[in-house]
Amino acid sequence: MADKKKILVTGGLGHIGSQLIREYSKREDIEIIRIFDNLKTQRYCSLFNLPENGKFEFFEGDILNTEDLDKAMKDIDIVIHLAAITDAPSTIEKPQLTMKVNFIGTKNVLEAAEKANVKKFLFPSTTSVYGETSGLVDENFSDLKPCTPYAEAKLASENLVREYGKSGKLNTTILRMGTIYGPSMGMRFHTAVNKFTWLAAMNKPLTVWDNAFEQKRPYLGLTDAIRAYQFLEEKGESGELYNVLTDNYTVREVVEAIKKSVPDIKIEITKAPIINQKSYEVSNEKIKALGFTFQDDLADNIKKKIEMLKGVKN
Catalytic residue among 150, 242, 249, 280: 150
Q: Show the 3-state SS of 87-105.
A: CHHHHHHCHHHHHHHHHHH
Residues 110 and 69 sit within 8 Å (Cβ to Cβ): no
Q: Which residues of 122-161 are buried (b: 16+ CB within 10 A; e: fewer)?
A: bbbbbbbbbbebeeebebebeebebbbbbbbbbbbbbeeb
**24 an active-site residue?**
no
Phi, psi of 212 (to 5 degrees): -110, -10
Residues 64 and 100 sit within 8 Å (Cβ to Cβ): yes
Residue 28 exposed, middle or buried by CB count within 10 Å (0-12, 13-18, 19+): exposed
Phi, psi of 231 (to 5 degrees): -65, -50
Closest C-alpha to 34, from 67, 68, 66, 1 = 68
Residues carrying an active site annotation: 150
